[in-house]
A and B are shown apart, each in its own frame.
Chain A
Amino acid sequence: MNNQQKPYDNIPGTTVFDGDMARIGFHLNQFCMSLMQESNRVAFKQNERAYLDQWPMTEAQKTAVLERNFSQLIALGGNIYYLVKISSTDGLSVAAAVSTMTDLSVDEYIDMMRRGGRSPEGNRFTDQGESKPSEESLWQK
């Protein structure tokens, strides 16, 4: 699928964790996985840079971890279920981590969820604000 248009490329604000992302994010995600162990969480918090340097990650990935830049971590192959292990180590909720990828503050994001979440209207296709019937939609009435 390299260099080809993917059927999910036109979904706005969305990165699908496919083979390309899994490939570039392998070491980043396995670093996150190591935080499942308490001793590793302690070592990471004691010296984050030194801990990261034990992993064959790119400099950009390490920087994004240090900055807790989740949008960048997703772009560099991180998977959200792995990345939340970093925010759990920080004692943060999933919502706190997730909201940083939106244009909302944590409180605004939580408020949006309480009001029923983000509407799919206008959020289905990148190329137009309005939703249009999907060519692949065999089901939608």
Chain B
Amino acid sequence: MAKVTSGLGTSHIPLLGYLMDKGESHLEKWAPIFKGYEFTKKWIREQKPDVVILVYNDHATTFDMKLIPTFAIGCGESYRPADEGYGARPVPLVKGAPKLAWHIAESVILQGFDLTIVNEMTVDHGLTVPLSMVFGEVEEWPCQVIPLAVNTVVYPAPTGERCLALGKAIRAAVEQFPDDLTVQVWGTGGMSHQLLGERAGLINREWDLAFMDDLKNDYEKLAKISQVEYIRESGTEGSEMVMWLIMRGALNHEVQEVHRHYHVPVSNTALGHLIYENASQESEEEKTL
């Protein structure tokens, strides 16, 4: 059977991909940013996930104002990195996991989540930057990826409660899938940032760190944060953090935080990153309850 074993949260700031693509990520001045992913690169080589369900938001790349799905799941065979206005990132083609993706789509729609199904799309920095930060510079991505795009560009984004519940539904779907697969769920975006208006440049370190603290055990409380509160406290783009709740919902109640990294600034944004592993055997215990 397929199983969600672990999850991670990470910002998906475009500068990170830019620096890697230009071969500048090793420069000393960027060390405080990239050092925080050295553990992650070792960890992922041990974990060897077969599939990553990668929760991100499209930034007016595949979805423009013609079409704005709140939740969209990629069921395609592969996805090309997008040209976001200055040429596509020179990173590998993203291989999909269509069989599992279709299974998840069917399952969670029947569980009450009206997902949009996407078979062809390009993927922007929201999806490719996390892959680069976790896997590094590789000839090909060492796992399949199911993109899960969440609208956080046009108000309102889905609520935290809905995101948390979707994560739980995805986990249930994965556990019904007959193939033996190790699956991870990644929540990306955030942390605090605001890219517009006189208040641009807002960073709320205290908020970000409290969010990361509470995500482990008090995620139900985080799920009640309204988008207005996200905007007020963590900036207009800080509301991307709801996507971390999808990741959290897909994991056991009991998780172990095995890594954390926080750094301000990366261009206009606070960078946050953490890794959770499901506490062992709880999944089995829960099933017998």
Contact = CB atoms under 8 A, between A and B. Distances in A.
Nearest to A75: B197
A85 interface: yes
Interface in B186-210: 192, 194-205, 207, 210
Given A17-B153, A88-B84, 4 more contacts: A25-B65, A93-B267, A136-B226, A139-B221
6 contacts: A7-B226, A17-B155, A22-B65, A74-B196, A94-B14, A113-B264
Interface in B127-180: 153-156
Nearest to B236: A14
B17 to A, nearest CB: 13
Task: Give the secondary structure class of B's interface.
Answer: loop
Contacts of A81: 59-60, 153
Contact of A98 (B153, B225, B231, B268): B268
A98 B154 contact: no
Contacts of B201: 98-99, 102, 104, 109, 112-113, 117-118
Interface residues of B, number: 47
Q: Interface centre among A7, A18, A120, by most B CB within 10 Å?
A: A120
A35 interface: yes
A124 B238 CA distance: 14
B282 to A, nearest CB: 26
A134 B231 CA distance: 12
Nearest to A93: B267
B198 A16 contact: no
Contacts of B197: 13-15, 71, 74, 101-102
B152 to A, nearest CB: 10
B196 A103 contact: no
Contacts of B222: 139
Contacts of A84: 195
B262 to A, nearest CB: 12
B83 interface: yes
A93 B19 CA distance: 14
Contact of B198 (A12, A17, A116, A139): A12
Interface in B52-71: 59-61, 64-66
Contacts of A46: none
